[in-house]
Amino acid sequence: MNNRSGGSFGVSIDYLVDEISRLLDENAHERVISILRSLDSGTLIDLILRLDSDYRAELLVIIPIDMFLTIANKLPDEVFFQFVTIRGVDELAKAIVNLPFDEATDIVGRLPYRQRIHVLRLLPRDVASEIERLLRYSPESVGGIMTTQIPIFPMDMTVGEARKIYVDKDTKKLYDKHYYVYVVDNDGKLYGWIDVRSFLTKPANLRLRECAQKPPAVVRATADRETAARIAIQYDLMEIPVVDNGDKLVGIVTLDDILDVVVNEFSEDLLKYGGILEVIRGSYIASSPLRLAIKRFPMIAYLYLMNTITGSITAAFTSVIERVAILAAFLPMLADNSGNIGSQASSLSLRALVLGEIKPSIRDLAKVLTKEFTVTSLMLLFLAPISFGIGFFVSMIGGLESFKALSIASIVTLSLAVSCYISDLIGFLLPLLLAKMKIDPATASAPLITTIGDIATVSTYFVLATLLTQSLGL
């Protein structure tokens, strides 16, 4: 049983799903809304996603729109569009007015083009203009996640004057969540920032330029949103000022936004590394089996076709297998080992790239080649004797003479060494090469690395087996 707490009820999510379903059957809508209001946003999202489709549709009819909009950007597209279809864009537009601009932009940006235009026409002109401006930024850019409702004051204003305006607007909740007050010059370019606590206690007669400090880092609105996450981690920042190409302050990226970016990018990279090239957005629970199958099939089909290369190589060496049948017994072991080596190497490579420890440069490439050759050699010091022992033992069990068993063990061990070097280098270098080509290195997925390693291992194994069996007269 799922024991996660459901808001103030302190009960499992499964109990909540059953209780809400029962109340909906009884048309006890007021009781349902009362329960929904008692839940935290995470539990509310989980509840909506876990309800059967009919109950979910009924819930979306009665849920207060202000409550829904607080979680709308966390819900998968199918649930969001279901809500819009049920409640209509007119009702959506009325509620959007009360949201911060960044949240309103995210919601409007998810709508189909015609519905988006319709909503913008229904909004007040100033609100619609700001949303349209933010919509110009790509959802994957810093501008696509920044908030613009922040305290900004000219550098020549006194602290007292700025504080009066700040308190008035903050009381009216006109600012989004922030930790700093921002100071700009006469051209709107970022001059510095002051943390809110200091701002509220500074002498009133000071000019803002006299107490503003230069932020340790800024980020451009057109930069990839991952850049903001890296900067926040590197400088340990709660928020990052965002500037346009002319260095004018246009907004900030908050810690909440950064955490969302980290989670989303990690999820995308994890799916890509698992061989799912088209990102599955939203909840696995709420996704239909057909949708999941469509997302997963392309890479599976591609890898299946690539595996025909492995089968073709094996078929080309049937004469060797017929002469020394025991060779076939070691092929799965060697193939699995090369896949494991390659997957380990690609995981380390991706981690190093993400953390900025290595760059896709010639200099770092040379360091990687040297280090990985050394690492593989050290591993083989332990792995080769094990491989030789297994090769000899299995061959003896298969009824071969001692000399032949030693020969087979040598073939297996030599093939293992070569395949380890090849798989390790492919696994580590492929993400680097993709990054150099401006392709997401996460597409160097574990299944792809394993398949390439299998092809290299099978080729190496049977070529060496052919040469050595002929020279040894086996």
Residue 329 to residue 308: CA distance in whole angstroms: 20
pLDDT at 262 over 70: no
Q: Mind listing the pLDDT tens digit for each residue in 221-243?
A: 999 888 888 888 888 899 999 99
Q: Strand 180-184 relative to strand 239-243: parallel, antiparallel, unpaired?
A: unpaired
**Mean per-residue pLDDT of the chain:** 84
Token duo for residue 87: 């409640």
Residue-range domain boundaries for the chain:
7-135, 152-253, 289-472
* Residue at 311: amino acid letter: G
What is the tens place of the pLDDT at every residue in 142-171? 998 898 999 999 999 999 999 999 999 999
Position with higher pLDDT, 445 vs 301: 301
Q: Which helix (H) or strand (E) holds 181?
A: strand 180-184
pLDDT of residue 300: 74
> What is the CATH code for 7-135?
1.25.60.10
Closest CA to 57 of 66, 48, 44: 48
Question: What pLDDT does 17 receive?
Answer: 93
What is the structure's pLDDT at 155? Answer: 95
- Over residues 121-141, the mean pLDDT reads 90
Highest mean pLDDT among 360-364, 420-424, 426-430: 420-424
Q: Which residue has the higher pLDDT, 289 or 126?
A: 126
Please report which confidence band the pLDDT of residue 51 belongs to, taking 50, 70 and 90 as the band edges.
very high
Q: Quote the pLDDT of residue 284.
A: 60
- In this prediction, residue 333 carries a pLDDT of 85
Q: Return the CATH superfamily for domain 289-472.
A: SLC41 divalent cation transporters, integral membrane domain (1.10.357.20)
327 exposure class (CB count in 10 Å sphere: 0-12, 13-18, 19+): buried
What is the per-residue pLDDT for 276? 47
pLDDT at 436: 78
**For 95-104, 201-210, 300-309, which range has the lowest pLDDT when averaged over its residues?**
300-309
Residue 281: which pLDDT band, with cuts at 50, 70 and 90?
Answer: low
> Does the pLDDT at position 287 exceed 70?
no
Question: Closest Cα to residue 426, out of 438, 414, 434?
Answer: 434
Q: Which residue did the predictor score with more confidence, 367 or 7?
A: 367
Using the predicted structure, report yes or no on whether residue 359 has a pLDDT greater than 90.
Answer: no
Tell me the three state secondary structure of residue 138: coil
| Residue 7: per-residue pLDDT | 46
Please tell me which residue, 213 or 316, carries the higher pLDDT value: 213
Q: What is the pLDDT of residue 5?
A: 45
Predicted pLDDT at 302: 73
Mapped onto helix, strand or coil, the DSSP state of residue 469 is: helix
pLDDT grade for 2, boundaries at 50, 70 and 90: very low
Phi, psi of 325, deg, nearest 5: -60, -25
Question: Can 152-253 and 289-472 be said to share one CATH topology?
Answer: no
Looking at residue 398, its amino acid is: G
User: Is 3.10.580.10 the CATH number for 152-253?
Assistant: yes
> Alpha-carbon distance 161 to 206, whole Å?
10
Model confidence at 58: pLDDT above 90: yes
Provide mean pLDDT across the span 348-369.
Answer: 80
Quote the pLDDT of residue 9: 47
Q: Which of 135, 167, 142, 143 is nearest to 153 (CA)?
A: 167
Q: Mapping DSSP to helix (H, G, I), strand (E, B) and coil, where does residue 133 land?
A: helix
d(CA 194, CA 42): 33
Identify the band that residue 62 occupies on the pLDDT scale cut at 50, 70 and 90.
very high
Residues in the chain: 474
Q: Note the pLDDT of residue 402.
A: 86
209 or 11, greater pLDDT: 209
Q: pLDDT by residue (tens digit) across 15-39?
A: 999 999 999 999 999 999 999 999 9
**pLDDT for the residue numbered 326:** 83
Tens of pLDDT, residue by residue over 448-470, are: 777 888 888 888 888 888 887 77
Tell me what pLDDT residue 396 has: 87
Residue 131, pLDDT > 80, answer yes
